[in-house]
Structure 1
Amino acid sequence: MRLGKRIREIEHEDRLDPLVARLKGLAERLPSGTARDVLHGVQLGHPLHPIMIHLPMGTWTAAVLLDLLPGDHRREARALVDIGLLTVSPAVLSGLADWAQQHERHQRVGVVHVAANGMGTLLFGASSLARARGRWGWGKGLALAGLGAIGLGGTLGGHIAYHRAGGANSADHFVDLVPEGWHDLGELEAYPEGNPAGADVDGVPVVVARTKDAVSVLMGTCPHMGAPLAEGELADGCLRCPWHGSEFRLDDGTVVHGPATAPVEPFETSIVDGRLWVRLSPA
């Protein structure tokens, strides 16, 4: 059986749900507002977690490689192990913020991902302690075991990120499906003021947000996890996702608050004889 199939079996393991609940309790203690947006990577335009994990994984991999090379690299290897330990916290916090806003199947794999990386961190911590006491052989062995653990954790993280698209833009493919030119969405009066309404452009979902002063049309799928934005709500010039609360500006689709990090694609609008026409805004 392929490893990928084994990992998919974890998604259906409901015995992990108590651990999921406990970890979600920890995630709820993370700061909200701008601090939470930073953890998600809103300001970057893509998730922060994949960047942060390079710091501990890179330094620990380099430390193990130095351990395996001929010559005396004990001082440098120990420094790299310790640097990795110092950079674990931001990687954990950013990952926890993202994980708490994902689907159940992501979260079940995520707790195993956390357990593997946690074991790896403990092993590298023990390696650092052994090196500090002059037990270099133990230090090297523990570091090698730790690298194996975080390698497994990284495999599980890769499954969440790539196979299940956790953190990927769930609406990006729709951009290539919208035909060029203007498209008729029907009578403007068919779209009520103050509430988002769904429509489609040649099968591509869009959301129409009509206010007293303007009408805005955005791609109808949330980039975060694919929620139907027509089921969301309008607030302070923004459209709020119905699933995880991401907020997007009505005028240009910019992310105001996460967990989404990619903007919603906006459409240009034109009212002709009481009918609403739209076309995808140029880059």
Structure 2
Amino acid sequence: MRELLTRIERASRLDRLGDSVQRRVMSIMRARRLRDALHGVWLGHPLHPALVQVPVGAWTSVAVLDLLRGQRRAATVLTGVGVAGAVPAAITGLNDWASLSREQRRVGLVHAVANQIALVLYAGSFAARLTGRHGAGRGLAYLGFAAASGGAYLGGHLAYKQAAGVNQAVPQLHRISDGWHPVADLTSLPEDQLVSRIIDDVRVLVYRDGDDITVMLERCAHQNGPLSEGSLTRIEGRACVVCPWHGSTFELTNGEAVHGPAATDQQLLRSRVVDGMVQAQLP
């Protein structure tokens, strides 16, 4: 399996199709509010893995019910629930996929194809059950379950091996030692500007607004973009930093994700000023 997944990651032949699909997805989902909602910015957590629980749970239950007697009606209902739930899960997944790196998109494309095959098979199973052909419905459902399981495996590879959709900045916290660390002389920090400093070889972003100081991890939660090279903006009067790579936007006072593709907040460090020296420590 490792060799197969490595081949998919390196399959540049998938890029032509992947790039075309990416352009189509971005053209359809032009509205930023729509993309943010589908990313799960409002939830503070990627929305796609949460929605996936509906079809996965329903179809897994169908696989069990189909082995039992007298459960045709329940199996039919859950097959339909899974088909209905797979649609929003697929839409949010495509939205997330369009903002991934090229290697991630290759695996994500195969992941999506496997899930679409599963959806078609389960839709056929649902139709067969409704017309009384329960034997055919069971057969199609088990084929769909195999396809969905393969898709789930690829989804796990995306998350756990390729770090798609996870907060990629947080691991840097583990490189910062305990205790308070000097960051900068307060008088040396210009107001309303982004300043980069280093704590234990970890780069942090420092922002000053009068006496209020923000110290956050400098690498973007989405794809490790350099926030210190980003731009400042104000959204509803709140100072925010915009990542220069993919446009993820975070409020500087609390690290809250305001715009995606990042769905999780940017990690802040605790900060204080002692004798004119800005200090920071782990949250």
Q: Which residue of 1 aligns with 2:54?
A: 55
Q: Which residue of 2 aligns with 1:111?
A: 109
CA contact 1:171–1:221 (8 Å) conserved in 2: yes
CA shift for structure 1 position 140? 0.9
Q: Which residue of 1 aligns with 2:129?
A: 131
CA shift for structure 1 position 195? 4.2
The reply on whether 1:262 has 2:264 as its aligned counterpart is yes
TM-score (norm 2): 0.89
Deviates further, 107-116 or 176-185 = 176-185
CA contact 1:40–1:94 (8 Å) conserved in 2: yes
Q: Which residue of 1 aligns with 2:70?
A: 72
Q: Which residue of 1 aligns with 2:42?
A: 43
CA contact 2:185–2:278 (8 Å) conserved in 1: no
CA contact 1:49–1:91 (8 Å) conserved in 2: yes
Distance change >3 Å, CA 219–CA 180, structure 1 → 2: same
CA shift for structure 1 position 106? 0.7
CA contact 1:238–1:249 (8 Å) conserved in 2: yes
CA contact 1:216–1:269 (8 Å) conserved in 2: no
Aligned residue identity for 1:60: W
The reply on whether 1:20 has 2:22 as its aligned counterpart is no
Distance change >3 Å, CA 19–CA 191, structure 1 → 2: farther
TM-score (norm 1): 0.89
Aligned residue identity for 1:13: A
Tell me which of 216, 219, 225 is aligned to 2:217.
219
The reply on whether 1:205 has 2:207 as its aligned counterpart is no
CA shift for structure 1 position 235? 0.9
Aligned residue identity for 2:216: L
Corresponding residue pairs, total: 277
Q: Which residue of 2 aligns with 1:235?
A: 233
Deviates further, 5-14 or 171-180 = 171-180
CA shift for structure 1 position 31? 5.4
- Percent identical pairs in the alignment equals 38
Deviates further, 51-60 or 20-29 = 20-29
The reply on whether 1:246 has 2:248 as its aligned counterpart is yes
Aligned residue identity for 1:226: N
Deviates further, 231-240 or 60-69 = 60-69
Aligned residue identity for 2:281: L
CA contact 2:40–2:47 (8 Å) conserved in 1: yes
CA shift for structure 1 position 269? 4.1
Tell me which of 6, 9, 15 is aligned to 1:8.
6
Q: Secondary structure of 2:279's match?
A: strand
CA shift for structure 1 position 137? 1.4
CA shift for structure 1 position 37? 2.1
Q: Aligned partners of 1:215, 1:62: CA distance in 2, in Å?
A: 52
Q: Aligned partners of 1:186, 1:55: CA distance in 2, in Å?
A: 49
1:65-85: CA deviation from partner (whole Å, max 9, x where unpaired): 21122x222221111111111
CA contact 1:266–1:280 (8 Å) conserved in 2: no
Q: Which residue of 1 aligns with 2:279?
A: 278
Q: Secondary structure of 1:89's match?
A: helix
Aligned residue identity for 1:277: V
Aligned residue identity for 1:123: L
CA shift for structure 1 position 124? 0.8
CA shift for structure 1 position 180? 3.3
RMSD of aligned C-alpha atoms? 2.1
Distance change >3 Å, CA 244–CA 271, structure 1 → 2: farther
Q: Aligned partners of 1:222, 1:102: CA distance in 2, in Å?
A: 14
Distance change >3 Å, CA 18–CA 140, structure 1 → 2: same
CA shift for structure 1 position 114? 0.8
Q: How does 1:57-206 map to 2 (within 5 A)?
A: 57-69=56-68, 71-187=69-185, 194-206=192-204
